[in-house]
Amino acid sequence: MAFQKPPGTQDILPAAAGKWQYVEEKARDLCRRFNYRELRTPIFEATELFQRGVGETTDIVEKEMYTFTDRGNRSITLRPEGTAGTMRAYVENKLYGEPDIAKLYYIGPMFRYERQQAGRYRQFHQFGIEALGSDSPALDAEVIALAYTFYQEVGIKGVRVEINSVGTPAIRAAFRDELLGFLRPKRELLCKDCQSRMDRNPLRVLDCKVDQHHFEGAPSILDSLDDACREHFEQVQRSLEGMSIPFSINPRLVRGLDYYTHTAFEFKAEGIGAIDTIGGGGRYNGLVEDIGGPNQPGVGLAIGLERTVMLMQEQEEELAKRQRLDVYMVALGEQAEQHASGVLYALRQAGLSAERDYQSRKMKAQLKSADRLQASFTAILGEDELAKGEIVLKTMATGEQQTVPLTELAAVVQQLREQTLEGEV
């Protein structure tokens, strides 16, 4: 019997793992620059945490969670998102007692039993950040700016930022009645999901991708904001403008989770199917208190890494150039082969990616390997070169060769590599 991976999962093979590493490294570097610290939480938590933290009327809790009873007769759920677990860790470990706000990030797998679509899996990966302890609109804008910068720096083009304000729970309650007055006459025209949401969470009806044509003339929650909410939203916009982050206002954007207050935002991109959202988040001022902690405001976001990697592939970014091998080492002769490991190690110690032949193949076969690995340079060490303390360095793109001292090989490769990268820019 040949086993196969479970439906809705994927094997990330070595050929693709480099892209994932690049994306994750970019996320970590951005968090360092924005002063966010990594938090690692369990992959499974008590089911009630997600029921309270995500919202019992959400699709996630109602339809998509992987829940089981463990041997201690406890209801356990594989995490469907990262925020609730972060809030639990923040409260349990009393991170709110620190003098500065808590700026946290996570990268890891999440689990939802949902219909498979382009770039969406039942085990998927998220990069998320959470900033806790401040209700400053400038912090909302910072979170948006970090995500926008992430998409820019991994090379994804055409990303759009949409923002909205969903006000406070009191404002949403009043708007809910107004919205239901608009929706009830259209009930039979709407899809089954929208009909169900009307009874449980009517604001989410506006987020439906199927029935948008029925919502022409729908009331806007922006018209229901009080002065404080309106000022908060305007300050978010001013901060984004100050950072030259382009955005548009989408009054129907409410997000799929119940805990948002004030700012909500999404990142959109084309080329990934009918659902074009690739990341999003918002402010959640009551969430920490809802799960048993102190009344601490917060704002956060989550980015789907599957969709990020898929967009990079769809847009044919020049990732291969950034990831290709720097040097392929060709050793000819017994003495050269014995010396090759030391040369290779020196290159790697200098921060260069380097590889060699371990099958004692002829020079022609080794050069073919250098081509397959897209090596920028081939370093050829024969018995004569070894005796002179030299090595032949070949630039693969041009075929140009030069002889350099063995002790200077890494420095010469680094210099030529920098010149090549500058030429590509």
Domain count, the chain: 2
Tell me, yes or no, whether 231 lies in a domain: yes
The percentage of the chain sitting over the pLDDT mark of 90, rounded to a whole number, equals 51
Which domain, by its residues, includes 94? Answer: 14-167+225-314
Which of 314, 348, 364 represents a domain boundary (last residue)? 314
Tell me, yes or no, whether 8 lies in a domain: no
* Neighbouring residues of 13: CB distance < 8 A, sequence distance ≥ 6: none
Q: Is 301 left (phi over 0), alpha (psi -120 to 50) or beta?
A: beta
Least reliable range by pLDDT among 14-23, 93-102, 163-172, 174-183: 174-183
pLDDT number for residue 322: 52
Co-location of 351 and 307 in the same domain: no
Average pLDDT, the chain: 88
Co-location of 289 and 357 in the same domain: no
Entry pTM: 0.77
Co-location of 233 and 300 in the same domain: yes
Q: For 253-299, how does the pLDDT look when each residue is reduced to its tens digit (9 = 90+)?
A: 877 566 788 999 999 987 665 568 899 999 999 889 988 999 999 99
Co-location of 127 and 265 in the same domain: yes
Highest mean pLDDT among 123-137, 192-206, 268-282: 123-137
Tell me, yes or no, whether 187 lies in a domain: no
Co-location of 106 and 239 in the same domain: yes
Describe the crossing of helices 14-34 and 305-314 by its angle, rounded to 10 degrees: 110
Q: For 40-80, how does the pLDDT look when each residue is reduced to its tens digit (9 = 90+)?
A: 999 999 999 998 878 776 778 878 999 999 999 999 999 99
Q: Where does 47-87 show beta strands of DSSP type E? A: 67-69, 75-78
Beta strands 390-395 and 377-381 are: antiparallel
CB 165 within 8 A of CB 203: no
Tell me, yes or no, whether 217 lies in a domain: no
Question: How many whole angstroms separate alpha carbon 190 and alpha carbon 184?
Answer: 10
Co-location of 128 and 254 in the same domain: yes
CB 90 within 8 A of CB 297: no
CB count in 10 Å sphere of residue 404? 17
Co-location of 309 and 343 in the same domain: no
Helix (H) or strand (E) holding 129: strand 123-132
Specify the CATH number for the domain of residue 400: 3.40.50.800
Higher pLDDT, 323 or 248: 248
Which of 314, 339, 368 represents a domain boundary (last residue)? 314
Q: For 144-156, how does the pLDDT look when each residue is reduced to its tens digit (9 = 90+)?
A: 999 999 999 998 8
* pLDDT band at 318; cut points 50, 70, 90: very low
Above 90 in pLDDT, residue 423? no
Q: For 1-28, how does the pLDDT look when each residue is reduced to its tens digit (9 = 90+)?
A: 899 999 999 999 998 898 899 999 999 9
Which CA distances in Å does 167 have to 66, 132, 323?
31, 18, 45
